[in-house]
Structure formats: structure tokens, C-alpha cells
């Protein structure tokens, strides 16, 4: 079983394996903080995504690298929004998406997919079916991160969809630690949705 899950790592540099594990641990911490509606989701997430930008660039996974560059920038944006609390400005509350935000979310998804298609075509990355799956997950995760920054309940639904697709995708590519990370992400995202829903109902 161990051989089946981790044999591909015998060909990787030790430093890259260590970095992937560190990125996964910070990624898990970030999602746990998100579940608790804690602003620490952002600094922990930034550490994880910066490491993954380096690794994904090295692995040649352009779409995933772009996702993590976007995650990093949106984490700074979300950190700013979540921290804007003062005597005359209350903490950003958890809310549900409006019809206008659904429209913008769909538009963001479409534009993201088009952008990824253009980039993948430019770098001649459409050599395998996984590249097409990347375009879908990139769009899903872009919208999910945007909704999380705005503290929208529905961000969890998109994370769940994207995480479920990513589990077999990363395992197929040979990145078992990252695949396990997404499996745990899925479970946390389900509980995160329920916890935020409970908070919203209050």
C-alpha cells in the first residue's frame, strides 16, 4: 500500500518533498481556520500558496500555479476585508450570495476558464486530458476564493466541488501528499459549510 501511494517520491528531490509537506500542513491549518471563521486563514494560507507556486512551476503545472498566485493575491485582499473592524465599522459578517454576486461569479468563472485556455494553448499544455480538468477546477477555485474573501457562505460549496475533483487528479499526477490534502480539505469544507450556516442562521 505504501509503495502504491508514495513510490513516485523516490525520484523527487528531498527538499521538494519537504516543501510539499510543509505547504500541505499550512494549507490544512488555513482551511481549519476558515472553518472557524478565523482571520488566521489568510497568513497560513499565504505561506502554503507561495510554496505551491514554486513547486507547481517546477512541476510544469501552469494552471495550478496560476491558481496559487491568485490565492496569494486574494489572501491579502481577504485579509484586508476581514480585518476592517473599528468602532464605526463592524466586522465583515457571513452572508449568502446575492443575485448580483451570482452573476459576477459566473462571469468570473467564464473569464477564468477562457484565460486558462489561452495560457495553456500558448504554452502548448493541452497534451493530456488533465489539462482540460485544470481549466474547470481553476475556474471553480477562483470564484470560491473570491466568495471567501467576501465571507459568503456559498464559497464552501465551490471548495467541496473543486476539492473532490482534485483528489484523484493530483494522485494520478503522482503528488500523493497533495491528493491527501484535498481529501482532508473536502471533509473540512463540509463541516465549514455547516458551521458557517449555523453562524448565518443566528
* pLDDT at residue 91, as a whole number: 77
Which residue stretches of 36-128 are H helix? Answer: 41-59, 62-83, 99-122
Residues in the chain: 202
Q: Rounded CA gap, 70 and 49, in Å? A: 9
* pLDDT at residue 167, as a whole number: 94
Residue position matching grid coordinates 516543501? 19
Q: What is the CA angle 18-145-32, rounded to 5?
A: 55
Q: How many CB atoms lie within 10 A of CB 103?
A: 11
User: How is 189-201 classified by DSSP, letter by letter?
Assistant: HHHHHHHHHHHHH
Structural domain for 17, as ranges: 12-85+94-201
User: How is 125-161 classified by DSSP, letter by letter?
Assistant: -TTSHHHHHHHHHHHHHHHHHHHHHTTBTTHHHHHHH
User: How is 20-61 classified by DSSP, letter by letter?
Assistant: HHHHHHHHHHHHHHHHTT-TTHHHHHHHHHHHHHHHHHHHT-
Instruction: List per-residue pLDDT tens for the chain, 202 residues long.
Output: 656 566 666 677 888 889 999 999 999 999 999 999 999 999 999 999 999 999 988 887 777 788 889 889 999 999 998 988 655 566 788 999 999 999 999 999 999 999 888 888 887 877 888 888 988 998 999 999 999 999 999 999 999 999 999 999 988 888 888 899 999 999 999 999 999 999 998 7
What 3-state class would DSSP assign to 152? Answer: strand
Tell me whether residue 17 is in a domain. yes
End-to-end CA distance of the chain: give it in Å, rounded: 46
Tell me whether residue 171 is in a domain. yes
Q: Rounded CA gap, 28 and 163, in Å? A: 13
Domain count, the chain: 1
Which residue stretches of 150-175 are H helix? Answer: 155-173
Tell me whether residue 2 is in a domain. no
Tell me whether residue 117 is in a domain. yes
* pLDDT at residue 2, as a whole number: 59
Assess contact for 179 and 167: CB atoms under 8 A: yes
Q: Rounded CA gap, 81 and 155, in Å? A: 16
Tell me whether residue 7 is in a domain. no
Residue position matching grid coordinates 452572508? 95
Instruction: Give me the phi and psi of 152, to 5 degrees please.
Output: -95, 130
Tell me whether residue 3 is in a domain. no
Amino acid at each position: 500500500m505504501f509503495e502504491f501511494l508514495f513510490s513516485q517520491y523516490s525520484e523527487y528531490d528531498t527538499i521538494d518533498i519537504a516543501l510539499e509537506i510543509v505547504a500541505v500542513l499550512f494549507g490544512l491549518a488555513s482551511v481549519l481556520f476558515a472553518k472557524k471563521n478565523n482571520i488566521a486563514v489568510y497568513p497560513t494560507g499565504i505561506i502554503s500558496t507561495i510554496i505551491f507556486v514554486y513547486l507547481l512551476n517546477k512541476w510544469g503545472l501552469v494552471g495550478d500555479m496560476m491558481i496559487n498566485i491568485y490565492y496569494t493575491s486574494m489572501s491579502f485582499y481577504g485579509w484586508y476585508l476581514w480585518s476592517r473592524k473599528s468602532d464605526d465599522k463592524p466586522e465583515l459578517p457571513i452572508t449568502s450570495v446575492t443575485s448580483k454576486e451570482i452573476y459576477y461569479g459566473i462571469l468570473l468563472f467564464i473569464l477564468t476558464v477562457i484565460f486558462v485556455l489561452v495560457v495553456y494553448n500558448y504554452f502548448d499544455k493541452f497534451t493530456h486530458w488533465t489539462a482540460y480538468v485544470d481549466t474547470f477546477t481553476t475556474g471553480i477555485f477562483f470564484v470560491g476564493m473570491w466568495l471567501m474573501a467576501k465571507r459568503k457562505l456559498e464559497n464552501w460549496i465551490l471548495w467541496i466541488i473543486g476539492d473532490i475533483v482534485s483528489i484523484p487528479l493530483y494522485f494520478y499526477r503522482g503528488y500523493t501528499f497533495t491528493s491527501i490534502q484535498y481529501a482532508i480539505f473536502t471533509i473540512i469544507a463540509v463541516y465549514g459549510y455547516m458551521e458557517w450556516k449555523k453562524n448565518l442562521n443566528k
